[in-house]
Amino acid sequence: MANVVWHKHFRILLDLTRDDLDHPEFPGLWDLIYATDRFYGRRGVPVSERDLQCGGVCRDMGVEAPMHLRMRGGRREAVHERREDEERHTAPMSDEHKAYQERILRAAHEGGFGGDSEVRTRVGRTWIQTDTLVEGADGRRIGWEVQLSTIDERGLRGVRARAGKAAKNGITPAWHTDRLAYAQRNDTHWTRSDRLPAHLIARNGDLRIVSGFRALDFWHCDTSALYPCPHGIRRCGKAHATAKPRDVFFDDMVRQTAAGTIVPIQFRAGKTVHRYWVTSADRDRLDDLDSDDIRLPPERETTPATGASRNRPTCQPATAPPTEQGPPTPDVPLTARPLLTALPLQPAAPAAETVPSDRETVPPALEQRETPTPQAADTTTGLPTDLITLQQAADAAHHKLQQLDDHHERDLQRRAWRQAAEAVQDAVTHYARTKRLNRYEVEARLRQLVRHSAR
């Protein structure tokens, strides 16, 4: 028996413990469904070909377990057709699993975060069932799912779908296991600890995550680099990142994911999507690396490390902790200008060595290019020199960003780059519009010219 039934045609979950099946919007739902199921029964339709499946543990594990309905002593009941499905419900949660649930909640609590086990979050007409849900900072919700060696691997179907559904509904999935085979799956962000008995998991002592967390090693692709260039054989001069395994304490993982200082990332290498947890600082730096000037990194709310505040005086106390960044704000459209006015910007100077010496440089100020006067132009592509200069400046600013290690310096340089990138974007738009050219093609030709003549 189970209390939650999935109606595969209506695509809703039915909670048999509630009179209205938790669907007040459909009066008479039980009568309809029960009568239909009885009718199927009288017609000899097999249970597996009817409408109902287990919506509880079976569905959570990705198993389609057919059910039928009955009334027993005035109570509504849903019954599994197969014994093996029924047994999935009666298998008690292992002591190790319970110990993990308690440990997660205790670690969260010590970090000032709340949480609960076996949480059901309503999502439209269905629910998300979370093993242990931690309520983190800034509305962040971490959904811990503990899958230990005690269950067999067939029970792990549907991980990607469950994790994806949680993520789509604002719950960051965090799947933890003690089994190597699970940890090597890349269907979600798995973490793994060694296999330990419940009394050790429950204790306050060190509990380590031995896989799933990575430290990103940022390096410059020059002749002194330790790693081969991921793009080819030769040294490309750019910055790259290499993810290196690093142990982390389980309790720290619980608290830092709640705080947002450890975050999930994923990236594709060949056909595989890799999923790791990294620090938010590493994630930000990776964003810098992966972005280019049409996909700028998300703008970040930063707090200056020292010195005067860039912000105007305010009577509101800052809500963000003084040393940590707030959550990244969504991508800002390129037309929206960032707040740059009060910031001592480094001038986004063009890289001198890439400017062809026989051409005059045009000041990059946008206002000066408004007049449609004859412009100096590249002789082969016909692109105006000022566009070339702006693109060189943006590329130089990006290159410099990739060379910086210091967090604060990178914040400053990121702004400089963003400004330079927006300048070239605006100029390309203006030029293409004036000349009635395809903007995308202008941009592609410009980049081709600048990036291939520079190397």
- Determine, following the binding rule CB under 5 A, whether residue 79 of this chain makes contact with Zn ion: no
d(CA 275, CA 282): 14
Tell me how many residues contact Zn ion (CB under 5 A): 8
Determine if 241 is a binding residue for Zn ion (CB under 5 A).
no
Please give the Cα distance from 138 to 301 (Å, whole number): 14
Q: Where are the beta strands (DSSP E) in 246-330?
A: 248-249, 262-269, 272-279
Closer to Zn ion by Cβ: residue 93 or 236: 236
Give me 288's structure tokens. 């810098």
Binder of Zn ion out of 5, 58, 209, 442 (CB under 5 A): 58
SS (H, E, C) 133-179: EEECHHHCEEEEEEECCCCCHHHHCCHHHHHHHHHHCCEEEEEEECC
Give 240's Cβ-side CA count (13 Å radius). Answer: 16
Site string for Zn ion, 84-113 (x = CB under 5 A): -x----------------------------
Residue among 5, 16, 221, 446 that touches Zn ion (CB under 5 A): 221
| 54 forms part of the interface with Zn ion (CB under 5 A) | yes
Q: Does 236 bind Zn ion (CB under 5 A)?
A: yes
Please identify, among the stretches 18-26, 48-56, 90-98, 396-404, the one whose residues bind Zn ion according to the rule CB under 5 A: 48-56
Which one of 164-172, 225-233, 257-265, 336-344 is the stretch in contact with Zn ion (CB under 5 A)?
225-233
Q: Which is nearer to Zn ion, 6 or 182 (CB)?
A: 6
| Those residues with Cβ within 8 angstroms of residue 263's Cβ, 6 or more apart along the chain or in another chain | 257, 277, 278, 279, 280, 283
Report if residue 2 touches Zn ion, rule: CB under 5 A.
yes
Q: Report whether 146 contacts 176 (CB < 8 A).
A: yes
- Output DSSP code: residue 384: B
Residue (214 or 240) nearer to Zn ion, CB: 240
Residue span binding Zn ion (CB under 5 A) among the ranges 229-237, 337-345, 363-371, 445-453: 229-237
Q: Which is nearer to Zn ion, 110 or 292 (CB)?
A: 292
Find the helix packing angle between 385-403 and 280-290, rounded to 10°: 150
Does 4 interact with Zn ion (rule: CB under 5 A)? no
DSSP 231: T
The answer to whether 229 contacts Zn ion (rule: CB under 5 A) is yes
Residues engaged in binding Zn ion (CB under 5 A)? 2, 54, 58, 65, 85, 221, 229, 236
